[in-house]
Amino acid sequence: MNITVIGTGYVGLVSGICYAELGHRVVCVDKDRAKVETLQNGGIPIYEPGLQELSVKNSAAGRLRYTVDLREAVEQSEIVIIAVGTPSLPNGEANLSYIDQAAIEIAQAMNGHKIIAVKSTVPVGTNERVGNLIRSRTTERFDSISLPEFLREGSAVQDTMHPDRIVIGADSESAAELLVQLHRPLTEHIVVTDIRSAEMLKYASNAFLATKISFINEIANICEKVGADVTLVAEGMGYDKRIGHAFLKAGIGYGGSCFPKDTRALIQIAGHVDYEFKLLRAVVEVNQDQRMSVIRKLESIFDGELQGKTIAVWGLAFKPNTDDVRESPALEIIQYLIRSGAHVKAYDPIAMRNFRSIYGDNGVMWCDDALEAATGADALCLLTEWDEFVHADLKLLQSILRKPILIDGRNAFKEADLAETSFVYYSIGRPR
Ligand code: UGA
C-alpha cells in the first residue's frame, strides 16, 4: 500500500518506519525542514533503540522517504495517517491546532478517494472534526479511521512490530477491512470499533495505567508507615491474573509526554459533558505529590535544612532508554532543590542536552559521568533507573560521596546490592 504519515514525532516516525518494514511504500512528512534533512541523511531526531537502523535500511530499499511536501505525498497515497502532536493547553485540554492544519492541507491535496486515519491521541469527536474540515474544502470522497497508538518510548519499535492489540475505529466497512489487512501481520488481536469508541479507548487505557501507578504509589506510602515492603506486595498482587504485574512499580510518579497530558485531557473531556472524573483527578493529584517523596526524605535526613547541601542527581529522563524529559519528575525535584539553596550536581547518560534546553542552567552543575556527579555530594538521589546506575559499583560510590546517603526514587537497588555497604538508604515503600 502507499501510505503517507504526517508528523515525525515519536508516533509518526516509528509507525511510518515500521509500515515500511512491513513492505509498504511510505512517505513521512514534516514541516520542520531541518528534521526532514536529518532523516534524509540517515539520522534520527529522537533517541529510540533500533529505529535508525530500520530507517536507513528501508530508505535504501526505496520503501521509505522523508519530505516537507505534504501535497506530493498525499497525492501518491491511498492511506493518509495524521500523527502530529496534540500538546496540552494551559487548562489541560488537547491543543488541536496541528490536527486542524494537517486536515486543511490534506483537503487541499486530495486527488481521489483516500482513507484518512488519525493516530494522534485526540478527544472524542476529533475524527468528525477532521472529516468536517476536509469535507468543507473538497468534493473528493474519503473514509475516516481512528487508529490509536499504544507504543512506549524506549521500546517503540518492539511495541509497534509486536503490539498487544490494534484498535481500528471506522465508519465504513471497506476502510476497516483495508486497515485490518494492513495490520494483520502484526497481531491477531485487532479490535474494530466505531470511531468514538476508539478515541475513548486510547484515553481510557492511558488513564487506567496511570491509575495503577498512583495506586501502587499510595500503597507504597502506607507501606513505609506500617513497615511493609511494596515490591513484595506488588509481586504478590500481580500473580492474580485480574491484576497483573505490569505498572505496579512504585517510584516518584509517572512523567513523559503521554500520561500527564492524557489524564488531564480526559478530565477535561468528562468536564465538557458535565461529568466530574473524581478518580482520575485523585490519580493526577497523587502523582504530583509523589514527586516530592524524594524531597521529603532528604528534608527528614537533613532536619529540614537543604541550604548549602550538595545533592547529586542520577537520571533526568522521565524513564530509562529515552532522551525525553517532558514532564520528567526530575524537573520539579531539581527546581525545588535549587530553590531550597542546595547545590545540585546532575548526570544522565542521554537526556542531559534535552533537560538543559528546557530547564536552562539555573544553578545546576552538569557532570560528564555518574561518578563525577556523586563525588563529594552529601546525598545521591536516583531519579531514573538507567542500567548504568542500577549496576553501579556501590562500594566505590560510597567512598566518593561525602556522606553515604542514597535516596533510590525507583527502587532500583536490592537488599543484596547494599549488603556490604554502610549506605543510609531510602527507597519508596520499602523498609530499607
Ligand atoms: C505510555 C503508554 O505506556 C503507551 O502504551 C502509550 O502508547 C504512550 O504512553 C502514549 O500514549 O503515547 P510512555 O509514556 O512511553 O508510554 O511510557 P511508559 O513506559 O508507559 O511510562 C510512563 C511513566 O510511568 C514513566 O515515567 C515511568 O517511569 C512510569 N511508571 C511506569 C511507573 O512509575 N511505574 C510503573 O510501574 C510503570
| CB-CB contact of 7 with 45 (8 Å) | no
Ligand 1 binding residues, C-beta < 6 A: 121, 149-153, 206, 209, 213, 247-249, 251, 254-256, 258-259, 318-319
Q: What is the mean pLDDT of residues 187-197?
A: 97
Where residue 344 sits, what CATH number does that domain have? 3.40.50.720
> How many separate domains does the chain show?
3
Confidence of residue 92 (pLDDT cuts 50, 70, 90): confident
- Nine cell digits for residue 90: 494551559
Domain boundary among 168, 193, 218: 193
160 close to 152: Cβ distance less than 8 angstroms: no
Question: Which of 157, 200, 209 has the most ligand 1 atoms within 8 A of CB, as the residue to mutate?
Answer: 209
153 & 241 share domain: no
What integer is the mean pLDDT of 251-272? 96
Percentage, residues of the chain above pLDDT 90: 95
Residue 279 known to bind ligand: no
Q: Residue 402: exposed, middle, or buried by beta-carbon count in 10 A (0-12, 13-18, 19+)?
A: middle
Share above pLDDT 70 across residues of the chain, in percent, rounded to a whole number: 100
In angstroms, the CA 432 to CA 428 distance is 9
152 annotated as a binding-site residue = yes
Do 168 and 219 share a structural domain?
no
Nearest-angstrom CA–CA distance, 39 and 28:
10
Calculate helix-pair angle for 195-226, 126-135, nearest 10 degrees.
150
Same domain, 345 and 364: yes
Q: Which of 47, 122, 151 best tests ligand 1's pocket when mutated (most atoms within 8 Å of CB)?
A: 151
Q: Could you say which of 289, 307, 323 is where a domain stops?
A: 289
Task: Encode pLDDT of 304-329 as tens digits.
Answer: 999 999 999 999 999 999 999 999 99
User: Is pLDDT at 297 greater than 90 in this prediction?
Assistant: yes
**Residues 254 and 382 grouped into a single domain:** no
Same domain? 329 vs 253: no
d(CA 425, ligand 1 centre) in Å? 26
Domain shared by 151 and 118, yes or no: yes
The answer on pLDDT for 415 being more than 90 is no
Is 150 annotated in some ligand binding site?
yes
Range of the domain at 85: 2-193
Kindly give the number of the ligand 1 atom that is closest to the alpha carbon of 251: 33
What is the average per-residue pLDDT within 88-106?
A: 94
User: 187: which residues sit within 8 A by CB, 6+ positions away?
Assistant: 162, 163, 164, 165, 166
pLDDT tens for residues 341-374? 999 999 999 999 999 999 888 889 999 999 999 9
Which segments within 260-383 are labelled E, that is strand? 310-314, 343-347, 364-366, 379-382
Residue 360 lies in a domain: yes
- Is the pLDDT at 238 greater than 80, yes or no? yes
Would you say how long the chain is, in residues? Answer: 432
Q: Which residue CA neighbors atom 7 of ligand 1 most closely? A: 150
**Nearest alpha carbon, ligand 1 atom 20:** 152
pLDDT computed for residue 315 by the predictor: 98
- The pLDDT value recorded for residue 143 is 97
On whether residue 259 sits in a domain, the answer given is yes
| 223 shares its domain with 295 | no
- Looking at residue 431, its pLDDT comes to 86
* DSSP three-state, residue 143: strand
Picking from 274, 94, 118, the residue whose alpha carbon sits closest to that of residue 196 is 118
The residues, any chain, with a CB within 8 Å of residue 337's CB and separated by 6 or more, are 295, 298, 306, 311, 313, 344
Assess whether 332 and 208 both reside in one domain. Answer: no
**What spacing in Å lies between the alpha carbon of 154 and ligand 1's midpoint?**
10
Residues 189 and 237 in one domain: no
Catalytic residues: 258
Mean pLDDT of the chain: 96
What letters, b where the CB count within 10 A reaches 16 and e where it falls short, cover 19-28?
A: bbbbebbbbb
**Residue 432 domain-assigned (yes or no):** no
